[in-house]
Amino acid sequence: MVRTILVVGAGKSTSYLLDYILKKSDQENLHLMIGDLQPEHIPEEFSSHPNCSVVRLDIFNEEERKKAIESASIVISMLPARLHIKIAEDCVQYKKHLVTASYVSKEMKALDDEVKKNGLVFMNEIGLDPGIDHMSAMEVIDRIRDHGGKMLLFESFTGGLVAPESDSNLWNYKFTWNPRNVVLAGQGGVAKFIQEGTYKYIPYQKLFRRTEFLAVEGHGTFEAYANRDSLNYQEAYGLQDVLTLYRGTMRRVGFSKAWQMFVILGMTDDSYTIENSEGMSYREFVNLFLPYSPTDSVELKLRHYLKIDQDDIRWGKLLELNLFDHSKKIPLKNASPAQILQHILEDSWTLQKDEKDMIVMYHKFGYELNGQKKQLDAHMVVLGENRTYTAMSKTVGLPVAMATLQILNGKITTPGVQIPIKKEVYAPILSELKTYGITFKEFEVPYLGYNPDSVAS
């Protein structure tokens, strides 16, 4: 009997996901149905496959949405996170398993009792970050506990970056996933974490000036800034008693200090619109955030306002973005500063056809075993092939696809709204990911965690 996998939304992170399902389709008796608002944009290599059908699907059209979900054996939602709930409610109604790569929302969590009652698996956070980070962390944490160790420290960092051979700008950065999420990173609250036994809080306006440095063997040095809420996974990971719990985002050294310029200026603000934004030049946009002067140029005012010299590398980074260009125009109507900044950055930071991206993940595990404090560091580096088959789509799409097949084949059976922290989920998926070159290198290093005799706090 043919089993239909419905993938709702076929954006940037789905190339490896779709490819995986179609390569397994004959062997596993699968039919792939892709439901997308713009089916004409689905690459022909997928749409022309004999085991694939593409349908136009507007998820706000209730009849279209319910018909597609009812006909499926299992559903994968690759929509923006806020839209998963519509799919999820229909999956409950028609008793279909659901897989997403997004954080579990309050609305999704509220379906847990119904999902369990119907014996369904709603697997969330099964992409890269969240996803591979959970699975790889829990594999090591469970191993430490199985040997009688007690966890003292856990730090985890992930970066979606440009590969060294495609790194052609002063920011050492290009977009490898949703640009809007990059521009809005860190907003909506304070960053919260535990460091050496003390709760710490970083407000948004200071977030990019409090960074940690990380060296990845063979790949150089990186910096990391704190994610919004590192404490979310304290209970899920069983880390209620750890002295340090910190999750962060990785960039090349110097990025965060330069990004802070946009924060200070107010260009990352998404809370209001600029009424006359359409047709405004990049230069005029910059001038909106600077004091009036009858004599000083926009460049001079900006350098004075940000207290940067002409030979500061940050000045070169601003020039590189054509921020003072009269001829570059903003095509967006009534746009927020954040939307305009995103457009300007996409102008410079979009991967070209044959350019490659890079994913870096870095974990630190501090623990006590037989009265001794120990530390294990682990890192993963994955390079993309080109703009379509990116490292981002590989590390997001493959875990989603693998989990889907595991659920469909009855290998993952625990019902409920969940994330991949149980061994029945992470063990087979991490094992299969290794065959695709997604693997961690581990290093024993001196324990650098909390010292009770230290005066630092």
When pLDDT is averaged across residues 338-353 and rounded to a whole number, the result is: 95
pLDDT exceeds cutoff 60 at 451: no
Buried b / exposed e along 343-352 (16+ C-beta atoms within 10 A): bbbeebbebe
Q: Where are the alpha helices (DSSP H) in 213-336?
A: 255-265, 282-287, 298-306, 313-320
Separation of alpha carbons 104 and 417, rounded Å: 8
Cis peptide before 39 (omega within 30 of 0): no
CA distances 415 to 76, 265, 315, 353, Å, are 16, 48, 54, 42
For 91, other C-beta atoms within 10 Å of its C-beta total 26
Tokens describing residue 241: 């008693």
pLDDT exceeds cutoff 70 at 221: yes
Identify the pLDDT of residue 450.
Answer: 47
Identify the pLDDT of residue 178.
Answer: 84
pLDDT band at 106 (very low <50, low <70, confident <90, very high): very high
- For residue 372, how many C-alpha atoms fall within 13 Å in the half-sphere facing its CB? 6
- Domain segments of the chain as ranges: 3-124
Identify the pLDDT of residue 81.
Answer: 87
To which H or E segment does residue 140 belong?
helix 132-146
Tokens describing residue 239: 């880390």
Separation of alpha carbons 11 and 179, rounded Å: 13
Identify the pLDDT of residue 254.
Answer: 96
Tokens describing residue 179: 């640009």
pLDDT exceeds cutoff 50 at 233: yes
First to last CA, the chain: 62
pTM beyond 0.85, yes or no: yes
Residues 6+ apart with CB under 8 A from 31: 2, 3, 4, 5, 25, 51, 52, 53
Separation of alpha carbons 145 and 230, rounded Å: 21
Separation of alpha carbons 126 and 78, rounded Å: 11
DSSP 382-402: EE-SSSSS-HHHHHHHHHHHH
Are 429 and 403 contacting, i.e. CB atoms less than 8 angstroms apart? Answer: yes
When pLDDT is averaged across residues 30-45 and rounded to a whole number, the result is: 91
Separation of alpha carbons 221 and 226, rounded Å: 17
Closest CA to 97 of 110, 113, 116, 78: 116
When pLDDT is averaged across residues 313-330 and rounded to a whole number, the result is: 96
Interior angle at CA 85, CA 14 and CA 36, nearest 5: 35
pLDDT exceeds cutoff 60 at 129: yes
pLDDT band at 455 (very low <50, low <70, confident <90, very high): very low
pLDDT exceeds cutoff 50 at 454: no
Work out the mean pLDDT of the chain and round it to a whole number: 93
pLDDT exceeds cutoff 70 at 456: no
For 95, other C-beta atoms within 10 Å of its C-beta total 11
When pLDDT is averaged across residues 73-91 and rounded to a whole number, the result is: 94
pLDDT exceeds cutoff 70 at 457: no
pLDDT exceeds cutoff 70 at 333: yes
pLDDT band at 418 (very low <50, low <70, confident <90, very high): very high
CA distances 349 to 24, 162, 220, 275, 353, Å, are 35, 10, 21, 26, 13
Q: Judge residue 294's burial from the number of C-beta atoms within 10 Å of its C-beta, 0-12 exposed, 13-18 middle, 19 or more buried.
A: exposed
Identify the pLDDT of residue 449.
Answer: 66
**Amino acid in the structure at residue 78:** M
Identify the pLDDT of residue 40.
Answer: 87
pLDDT band at 453 (very low <50, low <70, confident <90, very high): very low
Separation of alpha carbons 374 and 444, rounded Å: 8
Domain 3-124 class, CATH top level: alpha beta
* Residues linked to residue 358 through DSSP beta bridges, in sequence order: 161, 383
3-state secondary structure of 178: coil
